[in-house]
Structure 1
Amino acid sequence: MAFTQKIAKSIQATTDLWGFGILRPTIEGDLVLKNLSMKVSEGKCIALVGASGCGKSTVAALLQRLYEPTSGTISVGLNELRATDVHHLCEHIAVVSHSPNLFDGSIRDNIAYGWMGEMGDEGVMHAANVHDFVVSRPQGYHTPVGENASLISGGQALRLQIARALARPCKVLIFDECTSVLDGANQSAVLETIRDVKVGRMTLMDIRKVPVMKMCDQILLVDNGEV
């Protein structure tokens, strides 16, 4: 069995935990996270809360292997993250960030971006969970979003990011301080979407909005790099 196949089997079978133990990434010599230990079971939704700069986004970055901890380990089931192929890991992790991260194309193209292979209209519509919003626009799924999502609202851009994250069967879903852009018109729709998508996935949310926190299974306060 190839190495990547072993990792895929591990991720599919993971029902126990993601473990964070004594993570110490450094920025200009300063410890961002200190003696931080967490575990999250598959199917659970965890909220990370805390002041700006406390290390919440660092946890999200470590999960994606954007950089490595200087000590300690992060594990997926029985496999250490540092031993996992980054490309293969990315196939199982979807991230919704605070920046729109949408390109100057149509709604359909933005949702389908990153999908391996050709995605049919039915697949896009199923992944979107924004069908009513999209078809209310004259050009439907062919509506341009503009550069940096300039032709749609921040809440609508967030909904498209979530739709894109769901366009492939990810096992880990990360919301990185994205709900701060929500407006009243889109908040209820986004909350309903989050309530649905967290089922069957390990979900990590760096959030500030109380209604979203209440939807999580556990709330962890990060203060000065510690929980």
Structure 2
Amino acid sequence: MSTSSPSGRDVLRESIRGQRRDVGVGALLGSGHQIGEALVPVLIGVAIDQAVTDSDTGALLVCLGVLAVGYVALALSFRFGAMAGERAAARAEHTLRISLVRRILDPGGGAEEGRLPGALANIATEDAKRVGAVNMALMAGISALTGILTCAVVLLRMSLTLGLVVLLGTPVLLWLGHLLSKPLEHRSEAEQERAAHASAVAADLVTGLRILKGIGGESAAIARYRTTSRDSLGATLKAARAQAFQSGVVLALTGFLIAAVALVGGRLAAQGSISLGELVSAVGLALFLLGPLETLSWVNAELAQGRASATRIAEVVATPATITAGERSLSQPVRGAVRLDGVRHGGLRGVDLDVAPGELLGVVATDPAHAGDLLRCLARRTDPDTGTVALDGMSLRDLDPAELRTAMLVADHDADLFAGTVRENVTAAAPDGADPEQAMAAAGVTQVAQTLPDGEHTPVGERGHSLSGGQRQRVALARALAAERPVLVVHDPTTAVDAVTEARIAAGLREIRKGRTTILVTTSPALLSVTDRVVLLDEGRVTDTAPHAELIQRHEAYRTAVLA
């Protein structure tokens, strides 16, 4: 988008400007088609006056030959004009979708706030498609207006009265069509909002299907979706009724205009002001007008829906980023020294913490919410309310989030897997040419692969649902290890694995991360036992730091968090 905070009009304008070449070519060819269509009744009238009335066989054959050539030209211009219009619509839709995905994935975040993934998916598909279709509608509208103008010019040459009927009646029809499109625009926006919400709820229910079955919540889930779907259906029907009303009224008014042209033409022919051939031409042109005027009615509807969808797209693109990018760059190589100084955010109350380069540090939070607050600050999904988080002496606020994530990876407890094989998931963030075998062995994925039909090449399904919870955790951990970041922060990576496997993973993790900074935010005794030291985060503050065994002896709160 050309502006940092685009409006719906900006989205439409950019969508059309980016495809102006195809829209122009399509409009030119479409206009040629409409001009040809308008001239067909004229040629027929000429044939009647010069060939049929005078019984001139030669003139009749010439007229028929001209009509044949004209129809070939009409077919070709329509075909290639429509192709250019469809290409413009498809490319604009693709460009919008890329812009939306880029904004949603922007390291600064913010686009997903207050929106379910299903709603964002609906905007990136249906709304982008409707805005892209505006290019086709614009091309068709220009062509239709050219056809109407041609019809008016021909009728003016026949009779000033006939030409004025068309020239004065068409603007009135266009104005009424624009007025009638306003309710459709509002209802179309509501329709898309409801449809997006229904898609979001459906995606949410499918994601948690196993949990719903486990707790017996299917009935409540079905009732929730039925209500949402019924609301979406109601909004869709209202939009359909508005579109039908607009189309019906415009069609009726178009019929009146055509009847007026035919009536005036008939009276002029009866008075001898125009010939029989010109009367036939006038009636044919009146019937021809039905096509362009119906097209303009459709264009009005498409523009109304496109404006509503463009507004929704603009809202996502214009969402302010949660964090802003700094202008400084990390010094290379990254040593991995992490420091928190007086950090206050959420439940954190002035956290001070130093992590030495290459240290394996455990963090135990007695309140899980405080662990989440710490992880968000370390990942720079948000900035602390006060205090600083620094990497190698440089505040994270001064760094670009995208560059930061090339040096520091925060692996969430509930990290999703992607559709693909086990190996493809592990290597998703690995450096080019890196061998993931060591990471897979350290995380226990090698053992997982041995139990799968195609080993590490077994598809994991959408979000890894074909794997068990423990298998998903191990693949996600292997992916984090294979990324080989100088600083790795891992949150509860082994909550779904057995004790033997957990101990093996703890040893493998310490070995593979030797010499690189690693922070384990966990309450797992097996993982904490292999750390260099552990920080106890109690009531939002760092209350002690020592090896795991010593903290068990010192603090009741630590024992409760780790051993309960």
Tell me if TM exceeds 0.5.
yes
Where does residue 461 of structure 2 map in the other structure? 146
d(CA) in 2 for partners of 1:113, 1:91: 13
Contact 1:93 1:173 in 2 (8 A): yes
1:221 match: secondary structure? strand
Q: Is the 8 A contact 2:383 2:397 kept in 1?
A: yes
Matched, 1:128 2:449: no
Deviation at 1:50, TM superposition (A): 2.6
Query: 1:189 corresponds to which residue?
Result: 504
Query: Per the alignment, in what secondary structure is the counterpart of residue 101 of structure 1?
Result: coil
Aligned to 1:56: 371
Residue in 2 that maps onto 1:29 = none
Contact 1:54–1:225 (CA under 8 A) maintained in structure 2: no
**Residue aligning to 2:335:** 14
Does the residue aligned with 2:343 lie in a helix, a strand or coil? Answer: coil
Q: Does 1:217 align with 2:532?
A: yes
Map Cα deviations across residues 93-130 of structure 1 (whole Å, 9 max, x no partner): 2233221411232102211223465x5xx723344223
Please identify runs of 4+ aligned residues in structure 1 that moved more than 4 A.
none
Give the distance between the partners of 2:506 and 2:479, measured in 1 at CA.
16
Q: Percent identity?
A: 25
Instruction: Report the number of matched residues.
Output: 213
Tell me which residue corresponds to 1:172.
487
CA change 1:132–1:180 in 2 (3 A) is: closer
Higher relative strand content: 1
Q: Classify 1:74/1:137 alpha carbon distance in 2 versus 1 (closer, same or farther; 3 Å).
A: same
Contact preservation (8 Å) 2:507, 2:530: no
Supply the AA of the counterpart residue of 1:37.
D
- 2:418 is aligned with what amino acid? F
Task: Determine whether 1:101 maps to 2:424.
Answer: no
Q: Scaled by the length of structure 2, what TM-score is found? A: 0.35
Aligned with residue 38 of structure 1, among 345, 350, 353: 353
Please list every run of 5 or more consecutive structure 1 residues that lacks an aligned counterpart in the other structure: 27-31
Rounded to whole Å, the distance in 1 between the matches of 2:453 and 2:522 is 33
Q: Which protein shows a greater Rg?
A: 2
The answer for unaligned runs of 5 or more in structure 2 is 1-326, 543-564
* TM-score calculated relative to the size of structure 1: 0.83
1:100, 1:148 within 8 Å by CA — same for their partners in 2?
Answer: no
Cα offset, 1:136, TM superposition: 4.6
Between Structure 1 and Structure 2, which shows a larger proportion of helix residues?
Answer: 2
- Change in Cα spacing, 1:192 to 1:75, as seen in structure 2 (3 Å) is same
How has the CA–CA distance of structure 1 residues 148 and 52 changed in structure 2, closer, same or farther, with 3 Å as cutoff? Answer: farther
Whole-angstrom distance in 2 between the partners of 1:77 and 1:13: 7
In structure 2, the residue matched to 1:162 is: 477
Contact 1:154/1:183 (<8 A) preserved: no
Q: Distance in 2 between matches of 1:106 and 1:133?
A: 13
Task: Compute the RMSD of aligned alpha carbons.
Answer: 2.3
Distance change (3 Å), C-alpha of 1:188 and 1:85:
same
Output the CA distance in 1 between the equivalents of 2:419 and 2:523: 29
